[in-house]
Amino acid sequence: DIDHLNLRVQKELVEWLNWLKADIGFDGWRFDFAKGYSADVAKIYIDRSEPSFAVAEIWTSLAYGGDGKPNLNQDQHRQELVNWVDKVGGKGPATTFDFTTKGILNVAVEGELWRLRGTDGKAPGMIGWWPAKAVTFVDNHDTGSTQHMWPFPSDRVMQGYAYILTHPGTSCIFYDHFFDWGLKEEIDRLVSVRTRHGIHSESKLQIIEADADLYLAEIDGKVIVKLGPRYDVGNLIPAGFKVAAHGNDYAVW
């Protein structure tokens, strides 16, 4: 175990981070198991090494109901993520992985897309509250891959990418999906849409529809994304929008 309250430990870790930055060329940090030490300690490491980007892994359990599924309201879960960033310094480079969005998306794509509109009409994950500080993802080395601890439904992975790559937040692509699953071209098309239209971490999200079989949203007035099997959505798409990417139960205009 590392005693992060030990001043010598702090000093040597800061020196190591600055060496990684100055000599090796790293410019950002990922804080693994960040709930294992206080945000005050993480703030020391960030303030004294000044990375251009830092992201924390704060993986806690969502609130579940008697049916074994996540409750619609996950405010407490995302509040914990927001609190960490607040304590580390909201004006700095600190962000957190949006585990709230990941957990809700896991279930929503299985015929419960209504979950993607919170009670306030906004996105139900951290991106609904503080998108500039939320790093969205579909799976990572813990949740997916060989560890398979909380995997996204494998036949609906591209719906997950259609969501995070068109929505606010800083979206993150999983190596396995991109290089091993044969999804490179599909993911590339979504990345191109995001880049071409300048979708960014603080883009404006307007949720048009969120039913069991249909999620429809407009981002920055430039991009529209549809998830779900429902096809009769033509009347909901404004004139002038053309399909730019599509696949199994998703489309992007």
* Predicted pLDDT of residue 170: 98
Q: Let me know the angle formed at the C-alpha of 216 by 244 and 81, rounded to the nearest 5 degrees.
A: 105
Active site residues: 32, 57
Q: The whole model's pTM is what? A: 0.97
Residue in this structure with the two tokens 């930055």, named with its chain if needed: 21
Tokens found for residue 180: 């091993």
* Predicted pLDDT of residue 160: 98
* Predicted pLDDT of residue 46: 98
* Predicted pLDDT of residue 14: 98
CA 222 to CA 166: how far, in whole Å? 10
* Predicted pLDDT of residue 62: 97
Spans of the chain below 70 pLDDT: none
- Residues whose CB is less than 8 angstroms from the CB of residue 86 and which lie 6 or more positions away in sequence, other chains included: none
CA 28 to CA 126: how far, in whole Å? 21
Tokens found for residue 77: 């879960």
Q: Is 58-203 in CATH node 3.40.190.10?
A: no
* Predicted pLDDT of residue 204: 98
Q: Which residues of 77-104 are buried (b: 16+ CB within 10 A; e: fewer)?
A: bbebbbebbeebeeeebbbbbbbbbbbb
* Predicted pLDDT of residue 1: 81
* Predicted pLDDT of residue 177: 98
